Structure 1
Amino acid sequence: MNRKNINGKTVSFSRTEQVHVIKPCDLNGGGRLFGGALLSMLDEIAGIVAKRHSGCNNVTTAAIDHLDFKDGAYVNDLLVIIGYVTYTGNTSMEVRIDTYVENNEGMRHPINRAFFVMVAMGANNRPTKVPPLIIENEFQQAEWDCALKRKENRIKMKNDF
């Protein structure tokens, strides 16, 4: 399916990368990065990506899928967080967030992946339309297709709830 649209935005338009140094205040009692601290960072990145794509000053987190922890992070680790839009609906966007620890040689190893569903909010604090996502390659198309499956699963789980 071709989603090229003159009013759309590309994946790279809103792609965001941030680097954080893990501080002692970010750790849990076991000396590893506290999951809640990481979740706060991820939500911030998802919000930035969604604001950039939607052009709205107000976006809200509607759902978080697959918050998978693969490894830990420790004090003084460089935490690299990369987010980008994988899917757009009428008023919502799915944002993929990948988290890495980067060593002193610049090598990164993944420690977390999550998918955030963000909704653009208009001036009346109601959901508002977002620009379509322009798919430019096969990888982005595969991401879109997987996002559709996650959306179907979220709807099914919501109906079962």
Structure 2
Amino acid sequence: METEKRVEDSFTEQIQLLMPRHINGNGRLFGGKLLEWIDIVGGVAARRHSGCNVITAAIDNLQFKEGAYVNDTLVLIGRITYVGNTSMEVRVDTYVEELSGIRRPINRAYMVYVALDSEGKPVRVPRLIIETENQRGEWEGALKRNELRKIRREEGY
């Protein structure tokens, strides 16, 4: 196993064309369907970083900014923002891509995954090489989110 990996090594992108089966009673993308796709993209990014199977440990933040509708093209992009010993935080951004190619953000989510060995036990993940100021900002934000997760666990919510 590699001891260090770059953010780009686990970059994951998924495209979805919204069909009527993805839409809720109000004519917008069903949030649960989007969450499923976000979890898949985040899980793939975490698998690529860790080289292991992973489990979803937390959905830390999920912000719906705008709706999406039938025939919209969705682009989901996942990238590692932080690694602990066995856990990884992944940011997944979702965009609607217009026919012109312009992407409009509709959702941002932060997810936490834990890497597992062949027996299903947590296993150490490669360190994350931080190369840009944006990556450093994400890492620092992840430290704050991690602290808030600990406080929520201690307080039971």
TM-score band, normalised by shorter chain: over 0.9
Counterpart residue identity of residue 151, structure 1: N
TM-score (norm 2): 0.97
Q: 1:33 maps to which residue?
A: 29
Q: How many Å separate the matches in 2 of 1:157 and 1:10?
A: 30
TM-score (norm 1): 0.95
Note the C-alpha offset of 1:67.
Answer: 0.4
Note the C-alpha offset of 1:100.
Answer: 0.3
Q: 1:45 maps to which residue?
A: 41
Q: How many Å separate the matches in 1 of 2:145 and 2:129?
A: 19
Q: 1:3 maps to which residue?
A: none
| Equivalent residue for 2:20, pick from 15, 20, 24 | 24
Q: Which runs of 4+ in 1 moved over 4 A?
A: none
Query: Could you tell me the percent identity over the aligned residues?
Result: 56
Deviation sequence 1:17-70 (CA, Å, 0-9, x none): 1110001100001110000000000000011000000001x2000001120000
The number of residue pairs the alignment matches comes to 155
List runs of 5+ in structure 1 lacking aligned partners: 1-5
| Equivalent residue for 2:66, pick from 68, 71, 78 | 71
| Equivalent residue for 1:151, pick from 136, 139, 146 | 146
Q: Provide the alpha-carbon RMSD of the alignment.
A: 0.8
Q: How many Å separate the matches in 2 of 1:127 and 1:67?
A: 25
List runs of 5+ in structure 2 lacking aligned partners: none
| Equivalent residue for 1:111, pick from 92, 96, 106 | 106
